[in-house]
Amino acid sequence: MTHTALTRSTLAAALALGLAGPAQAIEYGTLDTTASKVGFRYTQMGVTLDGQFKQFSAQLRFDPARPEAASTTFEVPLAGIDTGSPEGDDEVKAKTWFDTANHPVARFVSSAVKPLGNNRFEVTGELSIKGKTRPVSFPVTYTPGAPTATFEGALPLRRGDFAIGEGDWASFDIVANNVDVVFHLIAKPLAQ
């Protein structure tokens, strides 16, 4: 009896592995920059506004079998910022905002990925904007797929921590301190 049950479960496991095999083997390693979207959500006197980063690039590794080993270095050239109005796009390049002449790129480098269950992960790392580096962590939802997987989430930050908006803009009465970087990333399999 015991012997038969064991064989059966072994067989079931082998079948499951066999069936799941091709999907499990996918390790994601290339960001589809055309299909992905990275934007930000901010609040101005109670009005929620959405902006987009028109340029970004990433190095990433994600193996569904070993998610805790996943890593990414994500870069956003800030010249490609779209605040929603041409006037705003010019303004945020100024010294008081991102100072893109001296700090052209915002960068996130991951240090740890913690599985939270249900295809959710907490990603920890360091965010560098305008010459200031701060530790951040945020949840990411992973949706498996073949050939592409989706990673979605929002990274909350305080613009004051990075001196984004100085001088007249430093007060949070008009433009709020809290900003969410919202992302919807499409990852392609690692190039063989």
Partner 1 sequence: MTPRYTSTAIALHWLIALGILASFSLGLYMTDLSLSPTKLKLYSWHKWAGVTLFALIVFRLGWRLTHPAPALPDTMPPALRLAASAAHWVLYALMLAIPLSGWLMSSAKGFQTVWFGVLPLPDLLAKDAALGDTLKDVHEALNFTLLAMVGLHVAAALKHHFIDRDTVLTRMLPRFRQS
Q: Which residues bind partner 1 (CB under 8 A)?
A: 44-50, 84-85, 87-88, 90-91, 168-169, 171, 173-175
d(CA 59, CA 30): 7
Rounded to a whole number, what is the largest CA-CA distance in the chain?
79
> Which helix or strand (DSSP H or E) is residue 19 part of?
helix 2-24
Using the minimum distance from each CB to partner 1, give the nearer residue, 101 or 174.
Answer: 174
For residue 177, give every residue at least 6 positions away whose Cβ sits within 8 Å of its Cβ, in sequence order, or none.
158, 159, 160
What is the smallest separation between the CB atom of 166 and partner 1, expressed in angstroms? 12
Helix (H) or strand (E) holding 32: none
What is the spatial distance between Cα 107 and Cα 99, in angstroms, rounded to a whole number?
15
**To the nearest whole angstrom, how small is the minimum distance from the Cβ of residue 158 to partner 1?**
18
- To partner 1, the closest distance from the beta carbon of 101 in angstroms equals 18
Q: Which residue has the tokens 């064989």?
A: 7
Q: Which residues pair with 107 in a beta bridge?
A: 75, 128
Residue 125 beta carbon to partner 1: minimum distance, rounded to whole angstroms: 31
Question: Toward partner 1, which CB reaches closer, 84 or 115?
Answer: 84
Nearer to partner 1 (CB atom), residue 42 or residue 142: 42
Residue (133 or 178) nearer to partner 1, CB: 178
